[in-house]
A and B are shown apart, each in its own frame.
Chain A
Amino acid sequence: DAGVIQSPRHEVTEMGQEVTLRCKPISGHDYLFWYRQTMMRGLELLIYFNNNVPIDDSGMPEDRFSAKMPNASFSTLKIQPSEPRDSAVYFCASSRTGANSPLHFGNGTRLTVT
């Protein structure tokens, strides 16, 4: 079991540029979550999918953020245009059945927007 795989591990970009973060969940997991972690706000749920369908995107900060899950083994989080306040660590997590089962986290993508 390779675990949840995120890429890239680090991303440095200039304000206004498009950023795409990628995630491969654990095979057989029906739920996929995107979180953002900052010192000020801690862990924030951005969006989650069930069987590739977005269920709750109320945590997405604004229209500059979008997420897709075209199939069960791949998801992307896109920021366009990026801003310095988007700098954070972005985590992807997957779980087998939702709230009652543990989340398996990737190692995160550290995004720096200058």
Chain B
Amino acid sequence: AQSVTQLDSHVSVSEGTPVLLRCNYSSSYSPSLFWYVQHPNKGLQLLLKYTSAATLVKGINGFEAEFKKSETSFHLTKPSAHMSDAAEYFCVVSEWSSASKIIFGSGTRLSIRP
């Protein structure tokens, strides 16, 4: 069975400092992994996607994530936080075999201090 765990429900960083949002997953097959961002009163927007190509994936707005199979992790990072990055972030794991096997993490709320 597959699952996804976002290790922090809330992360607060100062503007200009690095961001790290942690995600661990489990999957019986080679999974596809995604990060989505949700700004207030908006739908979720794709940040980046991993599907067994390069292990370091670059996304929009300067975010990137590294797939580490040995650690079953897919952490999201950004070198320098911006005020506009304040939002909810969701890590998602899915198995190619079934569209219903798309599992969302519980989300991490990112706050940015001026």
Contacts and interface: CB of A to CB of B under 8 A. Distances in A.
A48 B99 CA distance: 8
* Number of chain B interface residues as a range: 20 to 34
A45 B34 CA distance: 16
Nearest to A49: B99
Given A42-B104, A42-B106, A45-B102, A99 B43 contact: no
A114 B11 CA distance: 34
B41 A107 contact: yes
B98 A99 contact: yes
Interface string B49-64: 1010000000000000
B77 interface: no
B82 to A, nearest CB: 22
Interface in B56-91: 90
Interface residues of A, number: 25
A105 B44 contact: yes
Given A42-B107, A43-B90, A99 B102 contact: yes
Contacts of B101: 99
Nearest to A105: B43
Contacts of A102: 34, 46, 49
Interface string A62-93: 00000000000000000000000000000101
A102 B37 CA distance: 13
Contacts of B98: 98-99
Contact of A106 (B41, B43, B90, B106): B43
A12 interface: no
B5 interface: no
Nearest to B102: A99
Interface of A: 4, 31, 33, 42-43, 45, 48, 50, 55-56, 58, 91, 93, 95, 98-100, 102-108, 110
